[in-house]
């Protein structure tokens, strides 16, 4: 069996044809592609796409079909993957001092990129779409949902771990009269966030979560837990508990995988989120055991598909303004990232959890909000 025949055999259960006529079919421009992918797995698949060796008209549909049949588990891993697994086992790749370097690779790419891609509030986490017609509305709904879930009241002091450009902090201060401390390890985010939140009761700081001081009425974290690392999950939860008021609530908003892992996809690790990893439900529960009472668990993972597609459409439409700075290879890399992730959520291989926790359990119970 030739390498091309082997790849076709893998793709056939997904209804994907090599050089076929459907929008999800693979169009191969370099015959070396087949052996490269068989030898290198997902890393080679992504790198060969960046190199222009293959195309798909609807990349999101291609990945949806691929994830639905679990193809990522059937293609072999190369030595990069083996090295990554060993590194994760032997080292703490998200230790204090390293976490900032990991995040800056992604979040300091350029505020112009994120301004072009995201909504008007610069929210870089999943939107909430049940009653939304567009990205701006979906992100406003998500920010408000977080406020309502923690029962936010005027004057309360809230910590936002991994605050990004201060989108939730600004919303909570403007709409609810909250006092917010936001922390991030990205200097670019701190600089712009301070400007966007000027004049409000918002203090955005360049700080690792392990250096938090003080006590807060509530604590939230939107889209940061994916960078904590499995060796630090318990430490993270202990830090949150130590700085949360006894009657306060902690809201954790995180992407999650369906199985427990200690690494991430090698292409994502190399090109997008270095040393990141998705927690599983089991890992989250284990990290909170004995520290928190689970008050509410909300999964709206399919909304991330819509969010990612909206981000890609914005990125694609604004690309003429970005291409001189970032270049053609970056366009392929970033499109691959956004559309592959959309496919993973559409196929329900990834989830989006919003979890509400309390230290001692809410007296009389907690009312779930949706």
> Beta strand pairing status for 179-184 and 54-55?
unpaired
SS3 363: coil
- Active site residue: 126, 147, 197, 341, which one? 341
For the chain, what is the HEC assignment? CCHHHHHHHHHHHHCCCECCCCCCCEEECCCCHHHHHHHHHHHHHHHHHHCCCEECCCHHHHHHHHHHCCHHHCCCCCHHHHHHHHHHHHCCCCCCCCHHHHHHHHHCCCHHHHHHHCCCCCCCCCCCCCCCCCHHHHHHHHHHHHHHHCCCCCCCEEEEECCCCCHHHHHHHHHHCCEEEEEECCHHHHHHHHHHCCCCCEEEEECCHHHCCCCEEEEEEECCHHHCCHHHHHHHHHHHHHHEEEEEEEEEEEEEECCCCCCCCHHHHHHCCCCCCCCEHHHHHHHHCCCCEEEEEEECCHHHHHHHHHHHHHHHHHHHHHHHHHCHHHHHHHHHHHHHHHHHHHCCCEEEEEEEEECCCCCCCCCCCC
* Burial letters 232-242, b for 16+ CB under 10 A, else e: bbbbbbebbbe
> Beta strand pairing status for 179-184 and 202-206?
parallel
Cα–chain center distance at 151:
25
Residues comprising the chain, all counted:
370
Q: Catalytic annotation on 126?
A: no
> Beta strand pairing status for 179-184 and 157-161?
parallel
Q: Which residue has the tokens 């998705």?
A: 278
Active site residues: 341
């Amino acid at each position: 069996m030739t390498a091309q025949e082997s790849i076709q055999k893998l793709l056939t259960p997904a209804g994907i044809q090599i050089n076929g006529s459907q929008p999800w079919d693979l169009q191969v421009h370099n015959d070396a592609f087949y052996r490269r992918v068989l030898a290198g797995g997902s890393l080679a698949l992504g790198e060969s796409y960046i190199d222009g060796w293959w195309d798909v008209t609807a990349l999101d549909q291609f990945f949806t079909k691929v994830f639905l049949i679990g193809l990522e588990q059937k293609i072999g891993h190369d030595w990069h993957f083996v090295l990554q697994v060993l590194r994760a086992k032997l080292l703490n790749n998200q230790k204090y001092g390293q976490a900032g370097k990991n995040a800056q690779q992604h979040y300091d790419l350029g505020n112009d990129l994120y301004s072009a891609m995201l909504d008007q509030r610069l929210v870089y986490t999943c939107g909430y779409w049940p009653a939304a017609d567009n990205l701006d509305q979906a992100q406003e709904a998500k920010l408000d949902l977080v406020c309502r879930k923690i029962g936010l009241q005027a004057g309360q002091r809230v910590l936002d771990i991994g605050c990004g450009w201060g989108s939730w902090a600004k919303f909570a201060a403007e709409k609810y009269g909250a006092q917010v401390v936001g922390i991030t390890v990205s200097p670019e985010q701190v600089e712009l966030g301070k400007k966007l939140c000027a004049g409000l009761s918002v203090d955005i700081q360049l700080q690792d979560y392990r250096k938090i001081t003080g006590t807060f009425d509530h604590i939230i974290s939107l889209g940061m837990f994916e960078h904590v690392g499995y060796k630090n999950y318990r430490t993270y939860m202990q830090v949150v508990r130590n700085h949360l008021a006894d009657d306060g609530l902690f809201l954790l908003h995180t992407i999650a995988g369906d199985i427990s892992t200690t690494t991430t996809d090698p292409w994502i690790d190399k090109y997008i989120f270095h040393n990141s990893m998705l927690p599983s439900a089991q890992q989250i529960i284990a990290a909170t055991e004995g520290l928190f009472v689970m008050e509410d668990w909300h999964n709206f993972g399919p909304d991330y598909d819509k969010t990612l597609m909206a981000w890609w459409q914005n990125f694609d439409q604004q690309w003429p303004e970005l291409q001189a700075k970032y270049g053609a290879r970056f366009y392929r890399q970033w499109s691959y990232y956004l559309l592959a992730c959309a496919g993973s959520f559409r196929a329900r291989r990834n989830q989006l959890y919003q979890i509400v926790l309390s230290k001692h359990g809410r007296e009389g119970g907690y009312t779930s909000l949706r």
